[in-house]
Amino acid sequence: MSRRGRDRRHDGSDGREGGRSGPFRIAVLISGGGSTLQNLIDRIRDGRLPGVEICVVISSRSDVAGVARAEAAGLPVDVIRVKDHPDAQRFSDHVTLTLDVYAPDLVVQAGWLCYWIVPPRWLGKVINLHPALLPKFGGKGMYGHYVHEAVLAAGDRETGATVHWVDNEYDHGAVIAQARCPVQAGDTPDTLAQRVQALERELLPRTILAIRRGEVKRAK
């Protein structure tokens, strides 16, 4: 369900690694409020994420603030809901087809809560932001406050955020970058989430730029 017409570039200037000209085009996948998406939008606008543009936002829900944020920024939005498809493969095929049309240089899962089967041609082009220090506190069902509750229950004294390559297992792909922060006495899931989100706001843009500059080895 497209909320705006597709605007894929056809001039061949895709801005990928290797010195080719043009912007580095990213697709952002969301399932909720879109605070991470908004951080990327703001940094692109003010020049802190140079040479990067968002070519499409894919949301797994139509009724979330992230869709409104994307539309307010004038970005193409495709809503692709799991419940509109008979099985995971059909849902995954729809996501993949949309990415094939827009042909981004990088796909960024930013609060994306749906499992999609990544075909071989997209492996090494999809990253995920996770609110913990993988491989700890990852896997199916580990998202949002569930992660921070698990960190506190385990008594860990340190937590953080991870950007990793996506494969076809939950939170399993190779780690690209991490940022760390202490778990403090008296922390709650809310206070811990705030501290980790502050790390995420810096970690994800920094990682995108490193990938754009060819400083990160692509996963296979």
Residues that are catalytic: 130
CA dist., res. 191 & res. 184, Å (int): 9
- The closest alpha carbon to 124, from 162, 154, 168, belongs to 168
Q: Measure Cα distances from 79 to 55, 62, 93 in Å.
A: 14, 6, 14
CA dist., res. 35 & res. 111, Å (int): 9
Amino acid, single-letter form, for residue 160:
G
- The closest alpha carbon to 127, from 209, 193, 50, belongs to 209
CA dist., res. 137 & res. 180, Å (int): 14
Pairing of the two strands 158-165 and 175-182: antiparallel
